[in-house]
C-alpha cells in the first residue's frame, strides 16, 4: 500500500509518500514541502498548494491520503490556514476516489515513537530509523508528513480491519433479521392456508 502523508500549512505544507504494510519494512518514496509566500493572496496560495498536491497524487499514485487532523492552538490564524489546506488536500483526494484518514499529532507521535508527547527531533529521528534513511528528512514538515504516512500504514490498516469487521457484523445481523422475518411471514401464511 502506498500512502501520501500531508502535514498541512499555508507557508509550508509537508508531503511524504511511504510504501509498505504493517509487519513489513516500509520504504520512503518521496518527501518534500510546498511553500507559498505569506504576502500572497490566500486564494492564490490555496490554488498553488492544490496544483502541487494534484501533481504529487498523479506522480506517486497513492492508495490513501493521511492528513494531520486540525487541533486547537492559541494562534487562530495558524489553525485557520491549517484547516484550509487540509480541506484542499481532502478535496483533491476525494476527486480521485482515494481513502482519506485524519490522524491527530499525538496519534502520529505515539505510532512512530511510542510517545504521544514526543518532540519534533524525536519524530524525525524515528522516521529516519523506520524508513532506513541515510539522512534525516528536512525540513520538519517533510518528516512530519512521512510520520503521518507511517502512522496510517501501521494504524490505519488496523482501523480498516475493525471497520470491515463491524460492517460484516452489521450485515450478518441484518441478514439474520431478514431470515427471521421471512420465516415468521412464511409461518403466518402456512397458518392461514391451514384454516
Reduced to 3 states, what is the DSSP secondary structure of residue 132?
A: coil
- Take residue 81 and report the three cell numbers written for it: 490556514
Q: Residue 150 and residue 130: Cα distance in Å, rounded? A: 9
Burial 91-101 (b: 16+ CB within 10 A, else e): ebbeeeebbbb
Helix (H), strand (E) at residue 162:
helix 157-193
Q: Look up residue 20 and give its three cell numbers.
A: 509498505
In whole angstroms, give the CA distance from residue 104 to residue 29: 23
Nearest to 104 by CA among 133, 72, 61, 80: 72
Cβ neighbours of residue 93 closer than 8 Å, sequence gap 6 or more: 57, 65, 99, 100
Which residues belong to the active site? 7, 68, 141
Amino acid at each position: 500500500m502506498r500512502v501520501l502523508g500531508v502535514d498541512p500549512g499555508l507557508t509550508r505544507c509537508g508531503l511524504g509518500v511511504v510504501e509498505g504494510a504493517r509487519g513489513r519494512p516500509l520504504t520512503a518514496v518521496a518527501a518534500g514541502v510546498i511553500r507559498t509566500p505569506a504576502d500572497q493572496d490566500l486564494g492564490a496560495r490555496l490554488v498553488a498548494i492544490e496544483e502541487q498536491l494534484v501533481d504529487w497524487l498523479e506522480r506517486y499514485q497513492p492508495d490513501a491520503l493521511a492528513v494531520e487532523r486540525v487541533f486547537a492552538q492559541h494562534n487562530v490564524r495558524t489553525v485557520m490556514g491549517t484547516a484550509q489546506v487540509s480541506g484542499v488536500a481532502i478535496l483533491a483526494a476525494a476527486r480521485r476516489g482515494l481513502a482519506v484518514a485524519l490522524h491527530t499529532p499525538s496519534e502520529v507521535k505515539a505510532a512512530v515513537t511510542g510517545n504521544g508527547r514526543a518532540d519534533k527531533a524525536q519524530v524525525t529521528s524515528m522516521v529516519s530509523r523506520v524508513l532506513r534513511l541515510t539522512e534525516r528528512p528536512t525540513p520538519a514538515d517533510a518528516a512530519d508528513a512521512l510520520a503521518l504516512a507511517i502512522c496510517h500504514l501501521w494504524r490505519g490498516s488496523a482501523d480498516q480491519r475493525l471497520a470491515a469487521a463491524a460492517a460484516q457484523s452489521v450485515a450478518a445481523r441484518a441478514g439474520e433479521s431478514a431470515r427471521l422475518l421471512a420465516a415468521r411471514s412464511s409461518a403466518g401464511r402456512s397458518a392461514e392456508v391451514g384454516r
